[in-house]
Amino acid sequence: MSVLVGKKAPGFSAAAVVDGQNIVSDFTLEQFKGKYVLLFFYPKDFTFVCPTELHAFQEKLEEFKMRNVEVIAVSTDTEQSHWGWLQMGKNAGGIKGVTYPIVADTNKTISSNYDVLAGDFYYDEAGMLQAEGELIAYRGLFLIDKEGVVKHQIVNDLPLGRNVEEALRMVDALQYFEENGEVCPANWTKGKVAMSATHDGVAEYLSAN
């Protein structure tokens, strides 16, 4: 498992559905340089846990935007599959109303470069391509800063949905550190006391808590 924290986020150009309806053929990560990006992967369209996550990110989309964060979703489904799912209402298991981009990683390269691709593929002795397990994405999430560097990542197994509030908390922690130079301790949330990375700063934090 690759740890991308501290490294440049792998770039990509792929088809995507934007604004819930428009298919574009050359959606890139590089276009968001100067903004924060919350890039998350999910396994499959038309499934059960996945729509709960996509709707949850949509519900908090304005809060991400207020923090200058672009939310982008990725799965190994086609852009046509994404589009079809976006036309289905929430009560029918669809994701209608989701407006952030959903990228189609149909050749599996994005998921592979972020090291969240489940399953293995190889060539057998006869030169035939074989695969073990489905080649779909785990529930990976990457917080990328304005310079395109990964600052936070988590990867969940397929059955385990993520906490969107935690993603927002990590954005707040990163931005607080960038703006104030103070580090954020365990369970820190916006508005709470942080600490400087010195003995005096730790003592001051402990006395305040």
- Would you name the residues annotated as active-site residues? 50
- Nearest-angstrom CA–CA distance, 123 and 140: 27
What dihedral do alpha carbons 66, 77, 154, 182 form, nearest 10°?
A: -20
Type of residue numbered 75: S
Q: Give the Cα separation of 51 and 45 in Å (integer).
A: 8
DSSP state of 77: S
Which residues, in sequence order, are CB contacts of 197 under 8 Å at separation 6+?
Answer: 182, 183
Which pair of structure tokens corresponds to residue 23? 């298919």
- Helix and strand numbers (H, E) in the chain are 6, 9
Residue 177's φ and ψ, nearest 5 degrees, are: -60, -45
**8 Å CB contact between 176 and 190:** yes
Bridge partner residues of 27 (DSSP): 14
